[in-house]
Amino acid sequence: MTRIIHISGNSGSGKSVLALNLGIALSQKGREVILVDGNIYSADIANYSDISPEVFLNEFLDGEKDIEETIVFHPSGMKMILSMAEKAYTPEKHEKLNKALLSLTGKTEFVLVDSFSHSPALFSVIDNADEMIFVTNDDFPSILKSKEFIKKIESKGTNIVGVVLNKKRKNSNKKHIEAILEKRVLVEIPYDKNLIDTVNMKQPISLVYPKSETSKAITELAKIIDIWER
């Protein structure tokens, strides 16, 4: 059975880095994963993974290629569908993206979608989501914005299974944040200077620094998701 999991959050929350490393962590557990860079207006996965495919998701959206032709392999073994940033906001392409995600059903165990971080585009593609993971930074303004965004998403019927708390503060109170967001915090990722290094290197932290606190947290998240399936 294929599970389509969207990863969303406010802009700058670190959702793209999380999506990339979570896909790798699931692959390392022996699960079949296709990671889709579905944020077609701010595509980042290719930059973070230092992969330059011959065919991008955009070519499927333009009707030039089949979705299978856009799939590439990451060195970790994970499959990926990468995007280039679209110059113009084009709602018609959101429906094509929906069809692309649904067409991957039966071809893998997990479709991880690095999804949109603004509501109009996000709302047009989340009908296909089995679950959503929401990413927020651990500061009060971000948490308040996340609370509002989560309520909007859930008003559309999407199942947000939990929150990833990024750049966790030392004095952060997990239970307090869960009470504000009315959501379970799945994992907490502390500020990690190694993450900045790997972003500059265009390499996933889970491969370069597998024993870092960030990598450990993402591995724990992969374990949680794996349990959902079993």
E strands within the chain?
3-9, 33-37, 71-73, 79-81, 110-114, 131-137, 160-168, 185-190
Answer yes or no: are the C-beta atoms of 68 and 103 closer than 8 Å.
Answer: no
Q: What is the CATH number that goes with domain 3-229?
A: 3.40.50.300
pLDDT of residue 52 exceeding 90: no
* Percent of the chain scoring above 70 in pLDDT: 98
pLDDT of residue 230 exceeding 70: no
Q: Which residues, other chains included, contact 110 with Cβ-Cβ below 8 Å and sequence gap of 6+?
A: 2, 3, 5, 23, 26, 31, 32, 33, 34, 225
Answer yes or no: are the C-beta atoms of 23 and 218 closer than 8 Å.
Answer: no
User: How far apart (Å, rounded) are the C-alpha atoms in residues 42 and 83?
Assistant: 9
Over range 207-225, report the average pLDDT: 95
The pLDDT of residue 19 is 96
Answer yes or no: are the C-beta atoms of 145 and 68 closer than 8 Å.
Answer: no
The mean of the pLDDT values for the chain is 92
Of the candidates 171, 170, 160, 201, the residue with the CA atom closest to the CA atom of residue 49: 201
Output the pTM of the full model: 0.94
Q: Which residues, other chains included, contact 34 with Cβ-Cβ below 8 Å and sequence gap of 6+?
A: 71, 78, 79, 80, 81, 104, 107, 108, 110, 111, 112
Output the CA–CA distances (angstroms, integers) from residue 134 to 90, 116, 143, in the order listed: 24, 11, 11
The pLDDT of residue 2 is 92
Give tens-digit pLDDT for 172-197. 999 999 999 999 999 999 999 898 89
The pLDDT of residue 34 is 97
Over range 46-63, report the average pLDDT: 92
User: How far apart (Å, rounded) are the C-alpha atoms in residues 168 and 154?
Assistant: 25
pLDDT of residue 164 exceeding 60: yes
Query: Model confidence at 50, in pLDDT bands (50, 70, 90)?
Result: confident
The pLDDT of residue 229 is 56
The pLDDT of residue 206 is 94
Out of 7-11, 96-100, 175-179, 224-228, the most confident range is 175-179
